[in-house]
């Protein structure tokens, strides 16, 4: 089932949204270390995520969103999010956890995940949040406590995991929220969805960090607005501001 709704206010946002953050480097040593990490070539991806050239039948067992083929899992809810008129992110909700998937163009011979982690971490700490950079099941990731406004108007924190993988001329970022972030050992299925996602970069020229645009599935069915009810909180993504717009939801 697919449902479309309008967002009440960009300030309310939803879980998995990205805000623009500004990277601040305090010392020359930090600058040198960041440059060294950014210039590393993408590491091998023996377990995915996959480039479209590496998968013979990307649509087999996956939802075709154009720029991404997202694995289908029983009981999942799939939401797509827009920036302006373009669909740029997909969020898989599975029980009490979620992972937002967003793909970007990247340089041919350079990985950008190291640089992106620096930006995300800087933005969150500037907001008063807490970050921890650890090596997890998907490689280096950020585990963060992000400041949010609670429904009663008081301040609180939301636990979020930022994961990422550099591919051939693309970068795939995942933002894990819910129990999969609070208890990382319970996020195995979300992590497998991330690994088994296929990225379709295309051959056209794209500037680094441009989002890879998605599309609705061919069999999308629309239902009246207002069907969906909940909205979550926003947190920094470090790659430009993502505005909430119409949302499509699929329940498998």
Three-class secondary structure of residue 34 per DSSP: helix
> What are the pLDDT tens digits along the chain (252 aa)?
343 333 334 334 433 433 333 333 333 344 444 444 444 566 667 788 999 999 999 999 999 999 999 999 899 999 988 888 889 899 999 999 999 999 999 998 889 999 999 999 999 999 999 999 999 999 999 999 999 998 898 999 999 999 999 999 999 999 999 999 999 998 999 999 999 999 999 989 999 999 999 998 876 654 433 444 333 333 334 444 344 444 444 444
Q: Please report how the helices 113-126 and 28-38 are oriented relative to each other, as an axis angle in degrees rounded to 10.
A: 140
**Residue 11: inside a domain:** no
* Residue 80 is assigned to a structural domain of this protein: yes
Q: Look at the chain and report how many structural domains it folds into.
A: 1
- The CA distance from 88 to 68, in Å, is 10
pTM listed for this prediction: 0.74
101 assigned to some structural domain = yes
CATH of the domain at 41: 3.40.1000
Q: Is the peptide bond before 49 cis (omega within 30 degrees of 0)?
A: yes
The SS3 of residue 38 is helix
Which structural domain, as residue segments, surrounds residue 146? 28-251
| Residue 1 covered by a domain | no
Considering the domain boundaries, does residue 108 fall inside one?
yes
Report yes or no on 16 lying in a domain: no
Q: Is 126 left (phi over 0), alpha (psi -120 to 50) or beta?
A: alpha
Tell whether 202 is covered by a domain: yes
Residue 20 within a domain: no
Nearest alpha carbon to residue 237 among 98, 68, 102: 102
């Amino acid at each position: 089932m697919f449902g479309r709704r309008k967002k009440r206010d960009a300030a309310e946002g939803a879980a998995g949204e990205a805000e623009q953050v500004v990277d601040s480097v305090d010392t020359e040593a930090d600058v040198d270390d960041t440059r060294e990490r950014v210039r590393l070539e993408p590491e091998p991806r023996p377990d995915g995520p996959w480039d479209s050239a590496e998968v013979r039948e990307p649509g087999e067992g996956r939802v075709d969103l154009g720029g991404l083929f997202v694995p289908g899992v029983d009981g999942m809810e799939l939401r797509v999010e827009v920036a302006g008129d373009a669909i740029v992110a997909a969020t898989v909700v599975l029980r009490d956890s979620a992972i937002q998937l967003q793909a970007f163009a990247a340089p041919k011979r350079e990985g950008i995940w190291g640089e992106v982690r620096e930006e995300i971490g800087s933005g969150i700490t500037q907001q008063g949040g807490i970050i921890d950079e650890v090596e997890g099941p998907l490689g280096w990731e950020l585990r963060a406590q992000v400041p949010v406004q609670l429904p009663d108007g008081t301040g609180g924190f939301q636990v979020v995991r930022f994961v990422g993988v550099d591919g051939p001329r693309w970068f795939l970022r995942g933002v894990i929220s819910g129990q999969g972030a609070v208890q990382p050992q319970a996020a195995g299925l979300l992590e497998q969805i991330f690994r088994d996602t296929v990225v379709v970069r295309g051959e056209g020229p794209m500037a680094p960090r441009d989002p890879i645009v998605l599309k609705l599935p061919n069999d999308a069915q629309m239902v009246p607005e207002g069907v969906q009810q909940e909205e979550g909180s926003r947190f920094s993504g470090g790659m430009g501001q993502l505005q909430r717009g119409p949302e499509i939801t699929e329940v498998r």
